[in-house]
Amino acid sequence: MTDDVLIVGAGPTGLTLAIELARRGAGVRIVDAAPAPHCHSHAKGVQARTVEVLEDVGVAERVLDAGLTHLPFRKYFDGVHVSDTDPFADVAPTPDAPYDSGVLLGQWQLEGILRDRLAEFGIAVELGTEVRGFEQDADGVTATLADGGRIRAAYLAGCDGGRSGIRKALGVRFDGTTDEAQAMVCGDVEADGIGRDVWHQWFTSEGGGVLLCPLPGTNRFQFQAGPELDDAGRQIPPSLESFQRIFDRHARVPGVRLANPTWLSTWRANVRMVDRMRVGRVFLVGDSAHVHPIAGGLGMNTGIQDAYNLGWKLALETTGRAGPALLDTYEEERLPVAAWTLDVTNEALYRAIEAVREPGTGIESAAPPPMGTGYRWSSLAAPATTGDRDVLRPGDRAPDAPCLDAAGRPVRLFQVYADPRFTLLGFGTEVAGAVGKLAAGHDGLVQALTVDAGEVGDLHDHEGHARRAYGVTDPALVLIRPDNHIAVLTRDPADITAYLATHTADPV
């Protein structure tokens, strides 16, 4: 038996990809070498754009319920409280962007939510299943397991992290640097006597600092600090004892004892990315394709958005509805994003290091840089023939907007876009007939809705937010990709038909 896609690695990236494939009807197996799910915080920040992705995946409400938003940063200098700041204080929800901040929660908590969502499709992670190697041919990929078993699939996705065995087996370059001098110790610990309503950040006039971030739903904090050095200047391996010494040196809070560590680790500044994200039938996704400095918290978010980009394309391919070059656009769109993320996080890390080294400054309480705004350079972005190009262009993220459905009930565009198909919006009565014909001609591939097409219209832009967000003043057709990016802005139905014929297997 041949599965459609074998996913190697069940972190946030692999789980997101599995859900995206499963909800579009593709056959999926997801394996992980670990014998059981971990319980470590690791990457703990979900960006606002990633929350939008997770809404489409079907778990945003669960993530928001489990996590923390608008957690203040409390800074201390030489043991004295100096400020409380919210990096998202100046950001508010808008009709086109409903999430005004990121969410803090432990990575293991996010993975648990994603595993539960995947289980709703009848799929479970196959734990303790290690892929030792694979071979690919014209028809598929055969993976060899550590126990001698084999799995045959049409495609393989390597979501197995920065030390990816899939990447190494492909022989893909992983260019960049590892700076052993720029290291950090981190872990999950308890700390009785420390408040859990802020992210504590202690700095000293001698340089250096220690951070304790509360992990929601637990009595634990994530601990972050520069490593302790021995008399010879060598880094001391992380331990509860070394964490306590670091904490006492920087925090200067008598009587607080760290306890019950569930994770102790050393992070080193790795800045690397591949030169290719696809080799034949094998794809590299997330940290297997790019590793970033932790400053800005973009690494896990980039991986989830990799998976979101690839999922619908692989699903169309495995169900026979992809155009011949659709899978190539994964690398075309995501490799530049990986390069951008490396540049941004490297600069953020440099600023953070300089801030800690410079007595009296500390790390800036700035919101992380925005990500996931679009792919204007992509071959999937058709030239716009209508709309205000200063507002929105093909390739851009599709904005949200509050509307009313045909029965007059409130509905958001993001709720409409949760359908796994392409979405066609027809603004105005003049294009309503074309909308119906296009839907009938691409059954199963496109959901089509009219906006402000009289009393029989599907959606009513009763406050004008949709027209403003999409730059629409005249009758218009807007085709939105399954990953909620603009594909086509036009008034001519032939442009929609031509686009689908080019990029999918649907005929003209």
Residues of the chain with CATH 3.50.50.60: 3-67+103-175+271-357
User: Does residue 359 surpass a pLDDT of 50?
Assistant: no
Comparing 237 with 296, the larger pLDDT belongs to 237
CATH of domain 177-269: 3.30.9.10
pLDDT per position as a tens digit, 270-285: 888 999 999 999 999 9
279: tokens are: 């080799």
Comparing 150 with 88, the larger pLDDT belongs to 150
113 with 16: CB under 8 angstroms?
Answer: no
pLDDT category, 268, cuts 50, 70, 90? confident
- For the chain, give the number of residues: 508
User: Does residue 357 surpass a pLDDT of 50?
Assistant: no
The pLDDT value given to residue 508:
56
The number of C-alpha atoms within 13 Å of 487 and in the hemisphere containing its C-beta is 23
Nearest of 218, 221, 216 to residue 190 by alpha carbon: 221
Query: What's the rounded Cα separation, in Å, for the pair 314 and 316?
Result: 5
User: Does residue 1 surpass a pLDDT of 90?
Assistant: no
Q: What is the pTM of this model?
A: 0.94
CATH label, 3-67+103-175+271-357, candidates 3.30.70.980, 1.20.1600.10, 3.50.50.60, 3.90.79.10 = 3.50.50.60
- H or E segment to which residue 411 belongs: strand 410-412
CA 427 remoteness from chain centre: 31
Nearest of 27, 7, 2, 475 to residue 285 by alpha carbon: 7
User: Does residue 181 surpass a pLDDT of 90?
Assistant: no
Query: What's the rounded Cα separation, in Å, for the pair 268 and 60?
Result: 31
109: tokens are: 């908590």
55 with 205: CB under 8 angstroms?
Answer: no
CATH of domain 402-503: 3.40.30.10
Query: Percent of the chain beyond pLDDT 70?
Result: 92
The alpha carbon torsion through 453, 454, 458, 463 (nearest 10 deg) reads 90
Query: What's the rounded Cα separation, in Å, for the pair 422 and 425?
Result: 10
pLDDT per position as a tens digit, 369-422: 555 579 999 999 999 888 778 889 999 999 999 999 999 999 999 999 999 999
Mean pLDDT of the chain: 91
DSSP code of residue 27: -
Pairing, β 103-104 against β 126-127? unpaired
Residue type, 231: D
pLDDT category, 356, cuts 50, 70, 90? very low
Comparing 369 with 479, the larger pLDDT belongs to 479
Residues of the chain with CATH 3.30.9.10: 177-269
Pairing, β 282-284 against β 278-279? antiparallel
What count of other Cβ atoms lies within 10 Å of the Cβ of residue 153? 24
User: Does residue 367 surpass a pLDDT of 70?
Assistant: no
Pairing, β 141-145 against β 150-158? antiparallel
Residues of the chain with CATH 3.40.30.10: 402-503
Query: What's the rounded Cα separation, in Å, for the pair 321 and 2?
Result: 19
